[in-house]
Amino acid sequence: MEFVVLPDCPAGAASAARLRATHRIDHPSGRPWILGDWPQGEATVVEAGPRRMVLLGHTRLDEAAMAAALGLMGSLHDVDAVVSRLPGVFHLMASMDGRTRVQGSVAGVRQIFTAVVDGVTLAASGVEPLLRLTGAGIDEAVLAARLLAPGGAPWPLAQRPVRRGIDPLDTGHWLQLDANGRSQHLRWWELPEASHSLDEGAAAVRSALSEAVATRVSSGGTISADLSGGLDSTSLCFLADAAGADLVTFHVAPLDSANEDTAWAHKAAALLPAARHHTLAADRAENLFDVGYTADHPNMAPEGPSTWASGLAHIRDLAKRATSEGASLHLTGFGGDELFGRMPACAWSLARARPVDGLRLVNRYRLANRWSWGATVRALMDRSTFAENLTAVATRIDAPLPPLNEPDFGWVSAPRMPAWATPDAVTAVRQLLTTTAAEAPEPLDADRTRHQALASLVFEGATIRHLNTALAGTGIHWDAPFLDDRVLAAALATKVDQRLAGGRFKPLLTTALRGVVPADILDRRDKGEFSAETFRGIERNRARLLELCEDSHLARLGLIDPAAFRSAVLNPGPMSHHLQPITTTVACESWLRSHTQDTGERR
């Protein structure tokens, strides 16, 4: 899916002739409004006199009731009350009295980007159409920030595409375009108060998640899904089966013999007899860490490199297998860990939410992670603001990684630049972070754990978006129901001590799905680990990875020392955290090489 939204003015309409589109929807004035390409059946157009609303994506609504509501709205602000109740994930556009409202989803699975073209702001579902209109060049500082590990750049810097002049819509905001083509970001969504008990939260999660999956199933056709053996993807498979899906599942056997995912996946498959199940071999080449973007798929990531690039071979292979089974939609469990598991700042939030019981749980974390009492107390006493924490992170990006047994309950889990990053790259990224902090950005929530959860969900949303960009034209779409607005609101409205009830694994999710997912499956208490696939992939693909060190495009930009990077590829180190900077560097280097048309001539 790709589209551009034009303001209701002559200057906006003038851009229409420069856009490639198979579909067009006009403003009530008759001027071109939305131009692009989207699957048949994914566009819902609601009209009420001189007003129009368009939803693009997966949702269910009563069109007559929506039209009546649209006719009664006093302004574009009134859209919130109606649309916030809709299930699924979608883009929304409304045109009223010469003004336009444009928004995506909270986690950014459906995102909006903007650029100024011929003096007016245009909005788009992705970077590519705006790139064609503007010819935007590479922002080398933002590219350098993609080298940060683990996890890449922190929010809000993580949202920025590696393109000058193309900007993302702020998380939880909608874009207003006026009759002169001027734009404004207006907040429409924020996390609800964390007030639910475990049972209340579980009921809300069950309702929202069941409807999210049912909305996908109701469109008919075959649905494929991950069946990793983990609780998140397995739960989606049982929900899809309960909704009547023609379901086909895929399980990738892990390399590590201590990983019990395969045993749990086979147990779940036996309890889903109506579905068709496939297990892919552990040593299949596509499972392993790969070189990321390749020349045979050029210009496929217009936003910039993704940390998931090393898994693109697996995604493409899985897409072929799923489409051969007749699937056009694939469900994955992205977002489940953030909604139902522990975030790094959980101890900080627990100690404040429930001082007595919370501190007991903090002590349990302390013992499990071998934190000293002194370090734990110092971390709990931290009162820095989000902006202050972001500034502190900026000062440490070239420092050695902290010890694994040292607690960090800050707003941002401090990433580091790779040891092979040049001083110029470090300086550029530090400047980006300090400039962002100087703007005093508000966190996504006043509570650190909920901020971290939502920031991580936005990262997961971007990953789904990037995967679908890479899969454009294959006939299948990746989807993550845990990232729907209503699902994440239901989960995060549950009190933190209830979401993390002591002695239980993902208690909110297991309570929510009791009776839908068999009890034997819900009782799993461990989680698989997959660093073996990265180690094996580096070993198997070492020659190809070393080729990236020769005439390195990152080195040409002055961002890395290729000799130091080569040494890391030859000797990555024994721990999984040693792999993360290699992963980000490979993603950035391979991205530059597969986007030579955008980079080489414009530098």
Q: Which two tokens stand for residue 339?
A: 């909604």
What's the pLDDT at 68?
Answer: 96
- Domain parsing of the chain, residue ranges: 2-187, 198-339+451-531, 344-449
Is 70 exceeded by the pLDDT of residue 362? yes
Please state the rounded mean pLDDT for residues 55-65. 92
pLDDT at position 502 is: 66
pLDDT at residue 603 tops 50: no
Tokens standing for residue 406: 């040292």
Sheet holding 120-124, edge to edge: 23-26, 32-37, 2-5, 120-124, 113-117, 167-168
pLDDT at 292: 85
174-179 mean pLDDT: 96
pLDDT digits over 193-210, tens only? 999 999 999 999 999 999
pLDDT surpasses 80 at 503: no
How much is the pTM?
A: 0.94
pLDDT at 597 over 70: no
- DSSP assignment, residue 75? S
Looking at residue 223, what is its pLDDT?
A: 97
pLDDT for residue 357: 74
Task: Count other Cβ atoms within 10 Å, centred on residue 197.
Answer: 12
Residue 358: predicted pLDDT: 76
Residue 10 to residues 45, 117, 347, Cα–Cα distance (Å) = 23, 13, 55
**pLDDT on residue 601:** 34
Q: What are the φ/ψ torsions at residue 221 (nearest 5 degrees)?
A: 85, 175
Q: Is 50 exceeded by the pLDDT of residue 582?
A: yes
Q: Which is more confidently placed, 401 or 204? A: 204
Q: What is the mean pLDDT of residues 487-516?
A: 90
- Mean pLDDT to the nearest integer, 34-48: 91
Residues in the chain: 603
The answer, yes or no, to whether residue 90 has pLDDT greater than 90, is yes
Express each pLDDT in 298-334 by its tens digit. Answer: 888 999 999 888 889 999 999 999 999 999 999 999 9
Percent of all residues in the chain with a pLDDT value above 70, rounded to a whole number: 98
**What is the number of other CB atoms lying within 10 angstroms of the CB of residue 567?**
14
Band of residue 568 on the pLDDT scale cut at 50, 70, 90 = very high
Q: Once rounded to an integer, what is the mean pLDDT over residues 528-554? A: 88
Percent of the chain surpassing pLDDT 90: 72
Our measurement of the distance from residue 138's CA atom to the centroid of its chain's CA atoms, rounded to an integer in Å, reads 22
598 pLDDT more than 80: no
**CB atoms inside a 10 Å sphere around CB 371:** 19
The domain made up of 2-187 has a fold known as Glutamine Phosphoribosylpyrophosphate, subunit 1, domain 1 (3.60.20)
pLDDT at 388 over 90: yes
Give the pairing type, strands 276-280 and 246-252: parallel
Per-residue CA distances from 42 to 54, 225, 234, 449, 586 (Å): 10, 20, 27, 35, 36
Q: For 452-477, what is the mean pLDDT?
A: 94
Average pLDDT of the chain, as a whole number: 92
What is the mean pLDDT of the segment spanning 3-16? 94
Average the pLDDT over 108-129 and give the result.
96
**Bond before 298 cis per omega within 30 degrees:** no
pLDDT at 490 over 70: yes
Tell me the pLDDT band of 570, cut-offs 50, 70 and 90. Answer: very high
The answer on pLDDT for 368 being more than 50 is yes
| pLDDT over 70 (residue 600) | no
For range 16-43, the mean pLDDT:
92
Q: Once rounded to an integer, what is the mean pLDDT over residues 70-85?
A: 92
Listed in order, strand segments (DSSP E) in 371-520 are: 477-479
Does the pLDDT of residue 434 top 90, yes or no?
Answer: yes
450 phi, psi to nearest 5 deg: -70, -35
Cβ atoms of 289 and 563 closer than 8 Å: no
User: In the prediction, which pLDDT does 531 show?
Assistant: 82
- Indicate if the pLDDT at residue 41 is higher than 90: no
Query: What phi, psi does 279 have (nearest 5°)?
Result: -115, 125
Please give the pLDDT value at position 602. 34
Q: Which residues contact 58 (CB under 8 A, 6 or more apart)?
A: 42, 88, 89, 90, 215, 216, 219, 479
Residues 6+ apart with CB under 8 A from 101: 76, 79, 92, 93, 94, 95, 174, 175, 176
The first and second tokens of residue 494, run together, are 């549950």
Please, what CATH class does the domain formed by 198-339+451-531 belong to?
A: alpha beta
